[in-house]
Structure 1
């Protein structure tokens, strides 16, 4: 019995020790768990704080980015407006430049037209090309126009004045020819012969020279100088055998014999 009690006591001690150990172990495990939980919470809090800070910074950065985008958009719009204004100025400048160029062209054309009224120009009369002053050309053409209207007396005056004013003119030979014709029409045969002969003497190769010689013969016939007319016609046949005037001269020589 004593041994049983002793054993039972020993068992009780063992159980008490076991219970005490288990209580201490449980208490130790609870502390570790709490510390682990605290550490997890601390890490979570730190993570949440970092996340909150990052979100705050991200929000600030986004706000700054939006402000920058708005500023950039405003600058772009301002540049567009400036570009449109500059394009408008360029178009206006182009129009003004075109107007100035047109004005300069018109002015230049006007100046050239005015100068052309005074500057010599090339003209061609009776197959001859020469240079004549505008006033010279105008006066010759005016005298010729009077003759063509059959106004022989004014034409005689006009051509006489022309030859006095322009004695070295390229129009000299035709002016002598038409002056002689005007005088012939006025029956001023002697003066007509003087001018026809002056044409041949001054320019024997002129297109009108054969006609001028024939006109001299006509004047001699009108003055009843048949012998002189025949001689003039014979001279015409020798000097200008291929001319149309020579064909007429052949017929007239035959009639004068």
Structure 2
């Protein structure tokens, strides 16, 4: 029995690479023979593996957060571009009205004025025919980023608002998991609002608030819902929506605009 026991211990010692003499190892408990070194190494490897896994997870989360921030900034830049284009367009209209008033004050002959307007109208028609862009939403490329940019480019073309709506509708259906979903729905709301389709606009704005409440577009989208309610003459609902914007998104531009509208009501 004792001989078998010694053979067993010796085998274990050789297995784990213990170089100590048999006389020394024979006196040590079986549980300590070589097990400390192997267990330490296994534990250390497990710790290294866990640390690498945690680091990888942190890097992936950071990458995801950075992408979300980039998409958010991109949406804000596009919104600013759109608003700037609207301001420029209004300034052009004001300048045209001023030119028209100045022309009237100069005392131009009615007949000559009519001829000039007719010629100008004909030239404008010819110019429109010569430079009119092709109609129809752009063909989707299969890349969400490319297709979103193509759809947004149509927003800035006043003659292709219907194409922009179609492009964003296709985008929403084709890329349901895209980080651009809040922006796409927001622009669908804005485009429909510009066309006077306020019920459709409210639907898309509400979709942003409901499905993407943490999106930077959510405060503005909720504000637009209130604006539509106010346009329809439902002051009570409009006030309730404005108050929600202020309480849910404090400090945002949407909340500031909501407070201004509340103060004016």
Q: Which has the larger radius of gyration?
A: 1
